[in-house]
Structure 1
Amino acid sequence: MSEARKTDTSDDQEPLSKARLRLWLKLLKASNLIEANLRRRLRAEFNSTLPRFDVMSALNRSPEGLKMSEISQMLRVSNGNITGIVDKLTEEGLALRVAVPGDRRAQRVRLTDKGREVFARHAGAHQGWIDAMLAGLDADDVDGMIRRLDHLSDTMKEHD
């Protein structure tokens, strides 16, 4: 009898398992479509990249600056990726490195005034692009999806 229950349970779970896989593929497809659109627009309108936008966004949220390792952790990328982007931002006068008192090796990176101005233009355009791409969703759709994705994120933390 217990063997029959195990079979019934696994049979009941199979459609849900397949639906979860379908959900993952649809989330991935939607994310990839949005990301590709943003990459194309950033390149066309600002000769910039999405990783560069992400670094500037992280720095914009932290006016006191961030250590390179903090940026890497926030964006879930390697320090090497961040170093190249920060080098370019620094060369262009959009960011600067500041020594961390008491730690000879550590530096904080922060946006310059020029960097904040450039980011503000990029962020305004970015918000407009997102708004246009998601214009087919009404307020209830957006709120419902946010709640469900928050729940998904909370669930995923258990597997991180």
Structure 2
Amino acid sequence: MSKTKRTPAGEALTGFILELFRANGLLLTAGDRLVASLGLTSARWQILGAIVDAGRPEPVAWLARNLGANRQNVQRIVNDLERDGLVVFEVNPHHRRAQLVVLTDKGRQIFDAAGRLQTPWVNGLADGLSVKEIEAAHRVIGALRDRLEESGER
């Protein structure tokens, strides 16, 4: 029985993906530690960021899509954020059941405070890396994400 072998690019990408998995786990742990004093987790912080990045109120399903995340998981976290007064739900004039998620003043203050904590941390992580290297890694990850989205791997 013959076994299909990875191409050299497939082998390199496999190693890259494994490093991404490891880095993701470490980033989530570091993020949890960084914002714990604000009552946040990495997941909650990420969703606040998606709300801010959206630029306008969006339903949970759209936030989940933008994050490449499971809608039910995002809904659970948004419900927690609402319970803690960081977001509110507003009526969606385009869809009766899909309420819009809106950041509250408290939510904005917490998100801004997280950003103030993140700045020295990320600057330290970036120390010794060139902007060119970071931009190249960003392009590779972006291309990988695009291919996964095109193939329906979301």
Same fold (TM > 0.5): yes
Please point out which of 11, 17, 26 is paired with 1:33.
Answer: 26
How many angstroms does 1:14 deviate by?
4.7
> Structure 1 residues 133, 106: closer, same or farther in 2, change over 3 A?
same
> Structure 1 residues 18, 46: closer, same or farther in 2, change over 3 A?
same
Question: Which position in structure 2 is the counterpart of 1:101?
Answer: 93
| Unmatched 5+ stretches in structure 1 | 1-9
Identity among equivalent positions (%) equals 25
| Unmatched 5+ stretches in structure 2 | none
Q: Is the 8 A contact 1:63 1:111 kept in 2?
A: no
> Structure 1 residues 93, 154: closer, same or farther in 2, change over 3 A?
closer
Question: Which position in structure 1 is the counterpart of 2:123?
Answer: 131
Q: Is the 8 A contact 1:95 1:110 kept in 2?
A: yes
Question: Which position in structure 2 is the counterpart of 1:78?
Answer: 70
Q: C-alpha separation between the residues in 1 aligned to 2:80 and 2:142? A: 34
Q: C-alpha separation between the residues in 2 aligned to 1:149 and 1:76? A: 14
Secondary structure at the aligned position of 1:103 is classed as: coil
Secondary structure at the aligned position of 1:106 is classed as: coil
Secondary structure at the aligned position of 1:105 is classed as: coil
How many angstroms does 1:38 deviate by?
1.4
> Structure 1 residues 127, 147: closer, same or farther in 2, change over 3 A?
same
Query: How many residues matched?
Result: 150
How many angstroms does 1:133 deviate by?
2.0
Question: Which position in structure 2 is the counterpart of 1:120?
Answer: 112
> Structure 1 residues 98, 146: closer, same or farther in 2, change over 3 A?
same
Q: C-alpha separation between the residues in 1 aligned to 2:96 and 2:151? A: 36
Give deviations 1:110-137, integer Å, cap 9, x for gaps: 1012211211111232243222223231
- Matched letter for residue 25 of structure 1: L
Q: Structure 1 residue 88 and structure 2 residue 48: aligned? A: no
RMSD between aligned alpha carbons? 2.6
Q: Relative to total residues, which structure has the larger strand share, 1 or 2?
A: 1
- Matched letter for residue 133 of structure 1: L
- Matched letter for residue 21 of structure 1: T
How many angstroms does 1:105 deviate by?
1.8
Q: Structure 1 residue 51 and structure 2 residue 35: aligned? A: no
How many angstroms does 1:157 deviate by?
4.1
- Matched letter for residue 75 of structure 2: T
Compute the TM-score of the two structures, normalised by the length of structure 1. 0.75
How many angstroms does 1:106 deviate by?
2.5
